[in-house]
Amino acid sequence: MTDDWSPPPGSWASSAGRRRNMQAIRSRDTKPEQLIRRLVHAQGLRYRVSAKPLPGLRRTADMVFRPAKVAVFVDGCYWHGCPEHYVPPKTNPGYWSQKVAGNMNRDRDTDQQLLAAGWTVLRFWEHESPEDCAVRIAATVSRLKPPGKG
């Protein structure tokens, strides 16, 4: 079977194979997220997964601790422009570099909106130690949760 697919002009995918690969990338429940959630849960903390911290904000945090007003994001190194690991793409660099820059701008805007609403924002890179992330999350939530809230 031959793959005669070719991308439309201005498309983000350079080939049918690339398109399939990119579509298979998870936006939630990634391995780093799952590891961190498991460790935080083992410490007795409960949270919402992939939830909107603010009703009017069309963005979701990876973990939301409502009573403590803590939003946790586990950012992928490529998609969010990690200063240590981001490597600009060789294929269709204009599109993908612009996409990552847009993600970074949206992340900063999300942080600002949550902070303005009285939330604490914790951001971690996917390459960070899940154990260290879980310890920081637990310490922050424990410090900020209102008295009498589980």
Which residues is 48 bridged to in the sheet? 64
Is residue 79 situated within a structural domain?
yes
Is residue 114 situated within a structural domain?
yes
Q: How many distinct structural domains can be found in the chain?
A: 1
CB 28, CB 104: distance < 8 Å: no
CB 143, CB 49: distance < 8 Å: no
Q: pLDDT tens-digit profile of 35-82?
A: 999 999 999 999 999 999 999 999 999 999 999 999 999 999 988 999
pLDDT band at 2 (very low <50, low <70, confident <90, very high): very low
Is residue 3 situated within a structural domain?
no
Asked whether residue 7 carries a pLDDT value surpassing 80, the answer given is: no
Is residue 92 situated within a structural domain?
yes
**How far apart are the C-alpha atoms of 82 and 105, rounded to whole Å?**
13
With a CB cutoff of 8 Å and minimum separation 6, the contacts of 115 are 121
Is residue 6 situated within a structural domain?
no
CATH number of the domain at 87, please: 3.40.960.10
- Domain hosting residue 112, numbered range: 26-144
